[in-house]
């Protein structure tokens, strides 16, 4: 009887260990993380608009019918990434995520200079280089320090009804996230 | 004359020889089934025990940040969604009405009240995975946004969610099975809120089900 109780107790301790191992292991082992899905787009230097639910192969979709989202995967190992867009719709917002999908930076048009998308993503070594070459770099651009060289940017805007669709998709397709030539 | 003891000794050793593997198997079975079952439970219910709750509405302001705990990290990795950043907005989800009854796609609801301050908000109906029931071009309104909603003189709104069309604020809902309502606030101070601001969310009242 005592050994049965002992076996159950050992089993419960083991269950706790298995529980912790599963919870801690999922972020590294899950096959369909957001990063794995956006990586299929490749680091193309351009934003790719997310489709409606049921129309995408990657499993990523914009489920809010009024929201239009586009994703750009970047790799700033060789050069900082300049995220920019000519348009300025009534509302836009963007977030920068690292490969673990932690938010690195987020903003919306109200916090932007002249409501334009213009930011430079740089690693800490590139930040030093940029601040040394300060006069030549566009000073309006918001500098964001990246904890890791790669990640993804999500740019969103609102399309309140069908008449806004073209404005929204033109804004998203004109956005760039290309490597910046360092002086 | 006592019975020969050799045989009974051998029996006893035989029992304890079986007993040890049985106990090891029992401990392993408890460890794995218990560990897997509790992990599944935790991941399915993680929203319940670590959310910002206002009435039936739940949001998760820390989910996409480095402040996320191991359960949130596991949930986030398993779901694989692109989340809203803090400066972008905050999505509230309701799976029950204000009385705690699960939301059904065959019932009629009235969503009434006000939302926390936001530049814009959207309200949509979805299945329990958050997927909408129709495409953007569908003729029936499956969602409303704040610029579209009619309000009373005090600024509060009243939205009917039902199968039959109705004058005023109306969202179409006709789905066999449980549903959820998603209220997304864009550019809102609520996203960075650490409980400093008292947030008011609309109530959800069920007014009937089926054809009755």
A67-118 confidence digits (pLDDT tens): 999 999 999 999 999 999 988 899 999 999 999 999 999 999 988 888 889 9
**Chain A contact for B85 (CB, 8 A cutoff):** yes
Is B63 exposed, middle or buried (CB count within 10 Å of its CB: 0-12, 13-18, 19+)? buried
Considering chain A, what is the average pLDDT of its residues?
A: 87
**The pLDDT of residue A115:** 86
User: Could you give the CA distance from residue B123 to residue B109 in angstroms, rounded to a whole number?
Assistant: 13
Q: Is B139 exposed, middle or buried (0-12, 13-18, 19+ CB in 10 A)?
A: exposed
d(CA B186, CA A91): 9
pLDDT at A129 > cutoff 90: no
Is the CB of residue A134 less than 8 Å away from at least one CB of chain B?
no
| DSSP H helical ranges for chain A | 2-29, 34-39, 124-132, 165-174
Q: Where are the alpha helices (DSSP H) in A40-141?
A: 124-132
Nearest-Cα distance to chain A for B1, in Å, is 33
What's the gap between Cα B56 and its chain centre?
10
Mapping DSSP to helix (H, G, I), strand (E, B) and coil, where does residue A176 land? Answer: strand
pTM over 0.80: yes
Q: Give contacts of A111 with chain B, Cβ < 8 Å.
A: 87
The Cα B204–Cα B212 span in angstroms is 19
A114 by Cβ neighbours in 10 Å (0-12 / 13-18 / 19+) ranks as exposed
- What strand order describes the sheet that includes B203-209? B170-172, B157-162, B107-113, B203-209
User: Is B54 in the A-facing interface, judged by CB distances under 8 Å?
Assistant: no
pLDDT in tens, A130-163: 877 766 555 678 889 999 999 999 999 999 888 8
Alpha-carbon dihedral sign for residues B27, B32, B35, B40: negative
Number of cross-chain residue pairs from A and B with Cβ atoms under 8 Å apart: 188
Task: State both tokens at A102.
Answer: 């932690």
Report the complex ipTM.
0.86
pLDDT of B51: 78
List, as ranges, residues 29-68 from A with C-beta within 8 Å of B.
30, 32-34, 36-38, 50, 52-54, 59-61, 63-67
Cβ pair B131:A53 closer than 8 A: yes
Q: Please give the distance of CA B192 from its chain centroid, rounded to a whole number.
A: 21
For residue B24, what pLDDT is reported? Answer: 92
Angle between helices B70-79 and B5-49 (to 10 degrees): 80
Q: Give the model confidence (pLDDT) of B68-92 as tens digits.
A: 888 989 999 988 889 999 999 999 9
């Amino acid at each position: 009887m005592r050994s049965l109780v002992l076996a159950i107790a050992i089993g419960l301790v083991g269950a706790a260990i298995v529980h912790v191992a599963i919870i801690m292991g999922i972020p590294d082992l899950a096959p369909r993380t957001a990063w794995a899905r956006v990586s299929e787009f490749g680091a193309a230097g351009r934003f790719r608009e997310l489709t409606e639910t049921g129309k995408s192969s990657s499993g990523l979709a914009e489920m809010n019918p009024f929201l239009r989202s586009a994703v750009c995967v970047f790799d700033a190992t060789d050069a900082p990434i300049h995220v920019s867009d000519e348009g300025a719709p009534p509302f836009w917002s963007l977030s920068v995520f690292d490969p673990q999908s932690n938010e690195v930076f987020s903003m919306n048009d109200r916090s932007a200079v002249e409501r334009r998308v213009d930011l430079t993503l740089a690693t800490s070594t590139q930040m030093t280089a940029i601040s040394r070459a300060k006069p030549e770099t566009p000073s309006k651009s918001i500098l964001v320090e990246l904890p890791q060289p790669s990640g993804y940017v999500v740019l969103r805007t609102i399309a309140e009804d069908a008449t806004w669709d073209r404005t929204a998709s033109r804004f998203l397709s004109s956005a760039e996230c290309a490597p910046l030539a360092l002086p | 004359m006592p019975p020969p003891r050799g045989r009974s000794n051998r029996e006893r050793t035989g029992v304890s020889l079986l007993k040890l593997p049985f106990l090891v198997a029992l401990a392993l079975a408890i460890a794995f089934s218990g560990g897997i079952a509790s992990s599944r439970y935790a991941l399915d219910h993680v929203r319940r025990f670590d959310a910002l709750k206002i009435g039936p509405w739940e949001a998760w302001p820390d989910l996409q940040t480095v402040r996320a705990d191991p359960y949130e990290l596991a949930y986030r990795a398993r779901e694989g969604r692109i989340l809203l950043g803090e400066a972008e907005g905050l999505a509230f989800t309701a799976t029950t009405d204000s009385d705690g009854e699960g939301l059904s796609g065959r019932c009629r609801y009235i969503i009434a009240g006000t939302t926390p301050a936001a530049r814009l908000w959207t309200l949509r109906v979805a299945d329990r995975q958050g997927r909408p029931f129709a495409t953007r071009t569908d003729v029936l309104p499956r969602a409303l946004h704040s610029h579209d909603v009619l309000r009373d003189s005090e600024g509060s709104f009243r939205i009917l969610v039902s199968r039959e069309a109705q004058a005023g604020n109306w969202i179409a809902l006709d789905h066999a099975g449980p549903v959820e309502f998603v209220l997304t606030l864009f550019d809102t101070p609520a996203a960075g809120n650490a409980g400093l601001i008292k947030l008011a969310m609309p109530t959800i009242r069920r007014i009937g089900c089926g054809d009755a």
